[in-house]
């Protein structure tokens, strides 16, 4: 079978880094990502990284839970730079806790981005709820529902986080380091979206190389 490439993932990731916006800019809603197909070499490298991944054990309400078995009622889970994972009953509770666990996990003070959910707002204005220097995934396309976020780089197998085929929107609230979001395919090249820094995306509006959209299709990410 002939393998067609729209752009090479490793070059796309470099381009995402090079396209960094200023740290004071609030994420832009509903951007359109570049999409492409992974090469066999790139897929092999990423799959090796995923094979080496360990189970994701999170702390939630004082107990340890394996996220692959479900979130047990949690609505927001965060992996902090040390690799530890914490889950909370709400995004607001998660943000408050991160302020003490990771003091630098704060929005850029010049951005003027306040917590939209804290004001009872949803939809496009809720993008302000992805902390500065973090990457966030949401369960729903209007940036609501369960929220999963990371600050450290790496390759994340979403099934280990109970988020495989469940992400519908994302924000990359960083001034450097974009994200490649992949759908794992059998006997076909893996499609991906290149999510640039300082932008937010509705996967329901993101075209899928094999037809349709990327909604509920992301299986793993590289950031």
What's residue 175's pLDDT?
85
Given a cut of 60, whether residue 13 has pLDDT beyond it is no
The torsion region of residue 72 among left (phi > 0), alpha (psi -120 to 50) and beta comes to: left
Output b/e per residue, 159-174; b: 16+ Cβ within 10 A.
bbbbbbebbbbbbbbb
Closest to 195 (Cα-Cα) out of 169, 157, 161, 164: 169
The mean pLDDT value of the chain amounts to 82
Could you tell me the residue ranges of all domains in the chain? 9-222
Pairwise pLDDT comparison (222 vs 3), residue with the higher score = 222
- In 17-133, at which residue ranges do the beta strands (DSSP E only) sit? 34-37, 57-60, 63-66, 76-79, 85-88
CATH number listed for the domain at residues 9-222: 2.60.20.10
Q: Which of the four pLDDT bands, split at 50, 70 and 90, describes residue 70? A: very high
d(CA 29, CA 126): 9
Using one digit for the tens of pLDDT, what is the confidence trace for 192-209? 999 999 999 999 999 999
Q: Calculate mean pLDDT across residues 88-110.
A: 80
């Amino acid at each position: 079978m002939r393998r067609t490439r729209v752009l090479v993932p490793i070059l796309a990731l470099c381009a995402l880094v090079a396209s960094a916006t200023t740290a004071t800019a609030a994420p832009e809603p509903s951007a359109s990502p570049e999409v492409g197909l992974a090469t066999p070499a790139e897929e092999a490298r990423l799959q090796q990284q995923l094979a080496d991944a360990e189970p994701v054990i999170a702390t939630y309400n004082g107990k340890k839970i394996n996220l692959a078995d479900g979130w047990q009622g949690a609505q927001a889970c965060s992996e902090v730079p040390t690799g530890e994972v914490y889950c909370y009953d709400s995004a607001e509770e998660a943000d408050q806790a991160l302020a003490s666990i990771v003091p630098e996990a704060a929005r850029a003070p010049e951005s003027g981005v306040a917590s939209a959910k804290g004001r009872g707002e949803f939809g496009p204005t809720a993008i302000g709820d992805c902390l500065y220097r973090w990457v966030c995934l949401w369960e729903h396309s209007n940036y609501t529902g369960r929220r999963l976020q990371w600050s450290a780089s790496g390759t994340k197998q979403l099934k280990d986080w109970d988020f495989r085929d469940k992400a519908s929107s994302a924000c990359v609230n960083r001034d450097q380091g974009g994200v490649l979001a992949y759908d794992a395919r059998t006997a076909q090249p893996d499609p991906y979206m290149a999510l640039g820094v300082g932008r937010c995306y509705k996967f329901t509006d993101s075209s899928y190389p094999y037809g349709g959209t990327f909604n509920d299709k992301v299986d793993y990410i590289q950031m």
